[in-house]
Amino acid sequence: MMKKMGEGSMNDHIQKAAKFCRRFREDESGSMTFFIMFIIVLTLIVAGMAVDFMKFESRRTIMQGAVDRAVLAAADLDQVRDPAEVVRDYVAKSQGGNCLSADPQIIPGANFRSVTANCELTMATYFLRILGMETLTAAASATAVEGVGNVEVSLVLDISGSMSESVPSLGMSKMDVLHDAGTAFVDALLQEEYEDRISVSLIPYTAHVNAGAELFDAYGIDRRHYFSNCVVVPTADFGSTSMNVGPSYSQAKHFQRYTGASYTCPVEDFEEIIPISQNADALKAAINQFEPRSTTSIFLGLKWGAALLDPSFQSVYSNLPSSMRDSAFSGRPENFGDNDNPSDTKKYIVVMTDGKNVGTRTLYDNFYQTPSMVAHWGAGKTPYDMYVEEFNGSANRYWDYYGQYEYTTNQGNTLMANICGAAKEAGIIIFAVAMGEGNDIDSTAMSNCASSPSGHYFETSGDELVAIFEAIADQITDLRLTL
């Protein structure tokens, strides 16, 4: 009897335990507790990560500011201490230790100093270590430049016939606007404080570029006439910034297309190239006399602009008459720099146009063979005159004389791309300015030629040309901090 009672009591306990387990299993009250606990833990982790990142960014910002101030202090030309030591001391005091990842890079020059510093800072984390990220590393770098080193500028300006058109918002012609813009540009660059450091070469262009008699002869080009001084540059030479010295180039034929038209090669003294000058009065006097001429060959203007920045021009410049040379620039153009041998000489092309490349026609060679033929065209006889006088109304005969292309439009676009690429490859910085609207300009070719579409390419209907030229001059002479 006692045994049976014990067994019953045990069964009761088992049944109660089983019933409790079933109730526990079926009971849904409090089921969100675990989820809520998970969310709370996750929120704490995310908030902790945010704290780590905020602390990291705060330290990085402080470090960047310290590096910026350090290089600016070291680049100061009035600073008598060693620039590298200035950077080290400044960073150490600002950061409570040395965070420099390498020695400061100092590039000195005449009236010029560039200082570059790089810092790294490793910060321990508090919450990110849960995810295995025990540290975060911040980096900061800055370059400061003070003073203007040697600067060489080629100012390449459009004097084509379309420059006679009006800028309605200003009530003046495009050429008059260019007069003002070019003058403002020269004044901004050739200030007294930059004496003997900034040189400007002026290259006006239309269908051709007037090299001037002295520069033409200094290149040793085979001269066929003395009516003008333009050069036909072979297409193969647009892949390089240099121009050959010697008789490998030919002289452009001198003629008018029709009575009253401008010669394809400009002839006035003020339309000649002015090489490597700091004579602001002479440069401005030439610019203010520019007149609209013939068609547009941007590529030829750019070729001459690049050639006058190429070191090979040194020998040509030294052979010019002393009245055309500035003794302060006897070593110019300076050599191009590279990664191993950086140069403190900056080279710029500023090219302006109101249009796009147009094919350049010329006389057929068989009508330009003898001295009498050359004199005939140089005296003002035109292909149109010949058609009227000799062929009495046969319009096709006009093209018998004048149908040959020196450069086609497509060639001009290709040559422009080639010389722009060669100049940029050599380290020349190109600013390109298009004055016009819609299809009147080739914005694609000009922006592609510029060193960058933003910051180096400008487009205007004309009313902002002066401001654009002044802004470019400011960029060239700017003393700035580069991050």
The stretch 191-199 carries a mean pLDDT of 91
Alpha helices in 76-110 (DSSP H): 83-95
In this structure, are 475 and 424 located in the same domain?
A: yes
Do residues 221 and 320 both lie within one domain? yes
Is residue 2 pLDDT above 50, yes or no?
Answer: no
The mean predicted confidence, pLDDT, of the chain is 85
d(CA 414, CA 424): 16
pLDDT of residue 204: 99
The answer to whether residues 122 and 251 belong to one domain is: no
Domain membership flag for residue 4: no
Q: Identify the pLDDT of residue 314.
A: 96
pLDDT of residue 241: 98
User: Is residue 162 domain-shared with residue 101, that is, in the same domain?
Assistant: no
Highest mean pLDDT among 69-73, 105-109, 176-180, 476-480: 176-180
Judgement on whether residues 199 and 222 belong to the same structural domain of the protein: yes
The rounded distance, in Å, linking the Cα atoms of 230 and 411 is 19
- Average pLDDT of the residues in 417-443: 96
Instruction: Give the pLDDT confidence of 65-82 residue by residue, as tens digits.
Output: 888 888 888 888 778 899
- Mark whether 346 and 406 lie in a shared domain: yes
The residue whose two tokens read 């990842």 is 101
Shared domain check, 272 and 172: yes
Q: Average pLDDT for residues 462-475, to the nearest whole number? A: 95
What whole-number percentage of the chain has pLDDT above 90? Answer: 50
Judge contact between 227 and 378, C-beta under 8 A.
yes
Does 1 map to a domain? no
Measured distance CA(314)–CA(309) in Å, rounded: 9
Report the pLDDT value the prediction gives residue 389, as an integer from 0 to 100. 41
Residues 196 and 104 in one domain: no
Most confident listed range (80-84, 368-372, 385-389): 80-84
Q: pLDDT value at position 120?
A: 87
Is 26 a domain residue?
Answer: no
| 294 shares a domain with 266 | yes
Confidence of residue 354 (pLDDT cuts 50, 70, 90): very high
Q: Is residue 474 part of a domain?
A: yes
| Domain that includes residue 140, residue range | 33-146
Question: Is 13 within the bounds of a domain?
Answer: no
What confidence tier does 344 reach under pLDDT thresholds 50, 70, 90?
A: confident
Cα–Cα distance measured from residue 412 to residue 194, given in angstroms and rounded to the nearest whole number: 36
Annotate 208-270 with three-state secondary structure.
CCECCHHHHHHCCCCCCCCCCCEEECCHHHHHCCCCCCCCCCEECCCCCCCCCCCCCCCCCHH
pLDDT tens digit string along 32-45? 666 777 787 777 77
pLDDT in tens, 116-144: 999 888 888 877 777 788 888 888 888 88
**Residue 379: predicted pLDDT:** 58
Domain boundary among the residues 146, 175, 195 is at 146
Which amino acid makes up residue 87?
A: V
Q: Where are the alpha helices (DSSP H) in 379-408?
A: 383-391, 396-402
Cα 85 to Cα 186: distance, rounded to the nearest angstrom? 39
Query: At 384, is the pLDDT very low, low, confident or very high (cuts 50, 70, 90)?
Result: very low
More confident call, 449 vs 75: 449
Q: Based on the structure, what is the number of domains in the chain?
A: 2
Mark whether 78 and 170 lie in a shared domain.
Answer: no
Determine the pLDDT at residue 388.
37
Task: Kindly state the tokens that stand for 302.
Answer: 């750019």
288 and 169 assigned to the same domain: yes
Whether the per-residue pLDDT at 258 is higher than 90: the answer is: no
CA distance 234 to 272: 21
Can you give the CATH number for the domain in which 269 is found? 3.40.50.410
Q: If you average pLDDT over residues 283-306, what whole number do you get?
A: 97
| Residue after which a domain boundary falls, among 118, 146, 174 | 146
Same domain, 203 and 244: yes
Residues 254/228, Cβ–Cβ less than 8 Å: yes
pLDDT attached to residue 10: 67
Q: Which backbone phi and psi does 41 adopt, to 5 degrees?
A: -65, -45
257, 399, 440, 449 from 409: Cα distances, Å: 18, 18, 14, 17
In a domain, 5, yes or no: no
Judge whether residue 173 has pLDDT over 80: yes
Q: How confident is the model at residue 393 (pLDDT cuts 50, 70, 90)?
A: very low
**3-class SS at 407?**
strand
Residue 19 domain flag: no
Say yes or no to pLDDT of 57 above 60: yes
* Helix pair angle (409-425, 298-307), 10° resolution: 30
Single residue among 146, 171, 200 that ends a domain in this structure: 146
Does 20 fall in a domain?
no
Residue 381 has pLDDT above 60, yes or no: no
Average pLDDT over residues 443-461: 95
